[in-house]
Structure 1
Amino acid sequence: MSAFTLAGLQLSLSASEDNFALIEQHVLATKRRYPNVQLILLPELANFGPAPRHAAAFPNATDEAYQNLAREAGVWLCNGSMFERDGDQIYNTASVYDPAGNVVCRYRKMFPFLPYEEGISAGTEPRTFTIPGVGEFGLSICYDMWFPETIRALAWQGAEVILHPTLTNTIDRDTELAIARSSAATNQCYMIDINSAAPLGNGKSIVAGPGGEVIHQAADNLEAIVVDLDLDYLRRVREQGWHSLGQPLKSFRDHPLSFPQYQGQRSSALDQMGPLAKPKANTKT
């Protein structure tokens, strides 16, 4: 077994203040309690909550604080995400730091939660990074997962583990758990879906394996989710199928069809659905 130990921190965070001191406390405490942890993943928008007013260009003081924290803890660290300002645009951007404190990857969320996540621009580039001697890791943020193309794009680039910070406090959290499992199964990857606990989120973080199996599912309270990922097992699943069953990545690779929905064509069926807008009250009697 080629074990890689990862911790997802389902934290209780504030929407009205800078959470860095609390996050720092939990990251360092996790590393002290579990010295074998190699990577720590935070929830989406962990530092300031869903507040675009905190958007800032990179690099910035908060970004540098996370670099220092990764260095002090001696871990790979994903900050969940923060709002990034780039000229007139604001992006929801996840950053990954190596144990030396270097920024190794930034990913801009491709599917903001429209029509509710207003004023946030969409990223356009799937991003992966390599942990030497371990494997390829991909980044995805919250609503991205609802679009199968995003996880498939990461698998296409070789991602074996998907880090998926989330901020969800709505009734559809159970549906997201099903999507996380199906994303893991259809792409034969590990899905590490880490949500905030109350008051920002409703928890229920999940780690799913390459057959869609549940490795761990949290409740709704604060929790440090520490799991060992077996990359040898994952590669065997990709080669032979989960329990010697389907091999979906190889079947997708070898299929001759070029799907029309990916060729820049408009769909007359989807165009009939109307504009992307918030629902209005039903005034019919």
Structure 2
Amino acid sequence: MSHFAIGGLQLELDTSDNLVKISDSIELTMRRFPWLNMLVVSELAVDGSNTAHAKSFPSAHEQHFCQLAKRLGVWLIPGTQFEKQGQKIFNTATVINSEGEVVTRYRKVFPFYPYEKDVSSGSEIIVFDVPQGRIGIAICYDLWFGEMARSMVQQGAEVIIYPTMTPTTDRNLELHMAIATAATNQCYVLSLNGAGKQGNGNSIAVGPEGQVIHQAQECEQVIPFEVDFKAVRRSRERGLMGLGQPLKSFRDNGIQFNSDSQVQRQTGALSELGPLTIPKK
């Protein structure tokens, strides 16, 4: 079998204390769609965006979701949580398998600076395996940096999941980015946003040829869909719509991009930009 079914839970959430609501929604979704293999929840879903809720890992919430995953027999990405390690705080997503085991954790590489000024940047690109294929995990603002998706794909990712919390007017741009990311990397993309007080919804699932599988509106909604890993591999081998083969072209081209160099980023044209601060009047 090459199919793996994912359900995105776009939930109307309060600013904090959402553990019961999320847990109940996971259970209800599995009763309605027992064929799902994985459920995904939005960024900072349980406790919201206040870093005062940061906890050391493994946290009590993480352990709760491990028990829930094992009982229901489903993979879970239960949003993200602020993780406290020493003096640093990270925005961390946990991936839990259907046995209730933590498979991996991903720390957001691109916090939404300058607004998330108290959050440290992660330093690792994370992919993980399910029985049918390989999945990459990133968070919200990471979508804005094409290098993130391409790095996951170079490590074999065939699906990329972005738990997201966007309540702002740039959500429409993120929808276009999700489609472009799927097409240029010939992979599935799920950008799963919160709703209610934690976001303006409009989650999107995109196929490996840039086709929109589903785009939600602003209300609470479950987005169940099947990933076909063979379709990803066929697109990458034969070309998107039988046309462009961007991953092969990227592999075979000898150019070295200056952006790969930290020195170039700090001393090139980007060094002429001002500091990364909140705009003033």
Aligned-residue Cα RMSD (Å) equals 1.0
State the distance in 2 between where 1:71 and 1:29 align: 16
Matched ranges for 1:113-124 at <5 A: 113-124=112-123
Indicate the residue corresponding to 2:268 in structure 1.
268
Shift of 1:267: 4.0
Q: Separation in 2 of the partners of 1:218 and 1:185?
A: 20
Q: Percent identity?
A: 47
SS at match of 2:191: strand
Contact 1:138 1:162 in 2 (8 A): yes
Spell out the pairing of 1:222-241 with structure 2 (5 A cutoff).
222-241=220-239
Q: Deviation string for 1:141-163 (max 9, x for gaps)? A: 00001010011110010000111
- Structure 1 counterpart of 2:50, one-letter code: A
Q: CA deviation at 1:2?
A: 2.8
Matches within 5 A, 1:120-159: 120-132=119-131, 134-159=132-157
1:268, 1:7 → 2: CA distance? 43
Distance apart, 1:263 and its partner CA = 2.2
Once residues 214 and 205 of structure 1 are traced to their aligned partners in structure 2, the CA distance between those partners, rounded to angstroms, is 11
1:215 and 1:95 map into 2 onto residues whose CA distance is 25
1:218 matched residue in structure 2:
216
Poorly superposed stretches of 4+, deviation over 6 Å: none
Report the AA paired with residue 20 of structure 1: L
Are residue 251 (structure 1) and residue 249 (structure 2) matched?
yes
Equivalents in 2 of 1:86, 1:199: separation in Å?
28
The residue type equivalent to 2:85 in the other structure is: D
Quote the offset at 1:61 in angstroms: 1.1
Instruction: Give 1:71-150 correspondences, 5 Å limit.
Output: 71-132=70-131, 134-150=132-148
Separation in structure 2 between the aligned mates of residue 73 and residue 52 of structure 1, nearest angstrom: 30
Task: State the number of aligned residues.
Answer: 279
Separation in 1, partners of 2:258, 2:10 = 40
Mapping of residues 45-64 of structure 1, within 5 Å: 45-64=44-63
- Amino acid across the alignment from 1:247: Q
Inter-partner Cα distance in structure 2 for 1:97 and 1:148: 26
**In 2, Cα distance between equivalents of 1:95 and 1:213:** 28
With the length of structure 1 as denominator, give the TM-score of the two structures.
0.96
For 2:179, the equivalent position in structure 1 comes to 181
**Post-superposition offset of 1:231:** 1.0
CA offsets 1:161-182 (integer angstroms, 9 cap, x no match): 1111000010011000000110
For 2:165 and 2:226, the matched residues in 1 are separated by 24
Q: 1:279 corresponds to which residue?
A: 279
Cα distance in 2, alignment partners of residues 13 and 267 from structure 1: 43
